Structure 1
Amino acid sequence: MEKLCPITFKSVDNNVARLNSSFIIVLFVFFFATGSPVVIGFIFLDFLVRGFWEPAFSPVSRTSKFILSNFQIKPKMINAGPKIFAAQVGTFISGAVLFCSVTGFSTIGCYFAGVLVFFALLESAFSYCVACKLYPYLRKR
């Protein structure tokens, strides 16, 4: 199968994307500790903003950019397409977690959350975008 990833004319800072993933992991840890659907609601809305609206308005992205600028970390610009697609996938998975947590299917929701945390860990630690690897298979369908 050919290796394709969504390409756009926009660029994003890979450091921001990786820090965003770290924040998502921390938020999910907070969710696992508290079981609060409010935390998942926040994650869902943040992914929704990043994936389907304007990433500049994402609270997580804004926080990441603020931290990186204060530490004067030089941006590493990459194509935004894979990260937008990853945020769209994150929207659907976090939406499933939110739905499961408010309808009493919290065990199933935890499985979905675990998948999303695993994806975020790969992005945060290794800059490995699972959504980019899934994109060619989803595109064929």
Structure 2
Amino acid sequence: MNLVSIRVITDDVARLVDFYERVTGVRADWSTEDFAELRTTSGTLAIGSTRTVALFAPDSARAADNKTVIVEFLVDDVDGVHRDLTGFVTDFVAEPTTMPWGNRSLLFRDPDGNLVNVFTPVTPAAIAKFAR
């Protein structure tokens, strides 16, 4: 089994796609006005409209209602990303901080309130773990 993507459900696909394009620098591939994907070398962030939920199971997912998942992106320079996003991101949860497991992390919320972690490995063990 392979993890293919993480899908975020939203009431405003265009707004969320614009946000994640700015955060990641990756252009989205649109399938319909209700579904787009941002593909990176290691995974895909899919963004779907609440209208698509009915195709799977009505009322099984609600936009802007997540309190458990963090969308994470590995970057070369988390402090540089923080500088670039200051003035664009309106809800920083935590400034860049070096975590006990060796990643320097920046935590913020997307326009729907979902948590986003942008991080850079900084200790030898963390760097080795994420070596490409």
Bucket of the pairwise TM-score, normalised by the shorter protein: under 0.3
Q: TM-score, normalised by structure 2?
A: 0.27
TM-score, normalised to structure 1, is 0.26
The structure in which a higher percent of residues are helix is 1
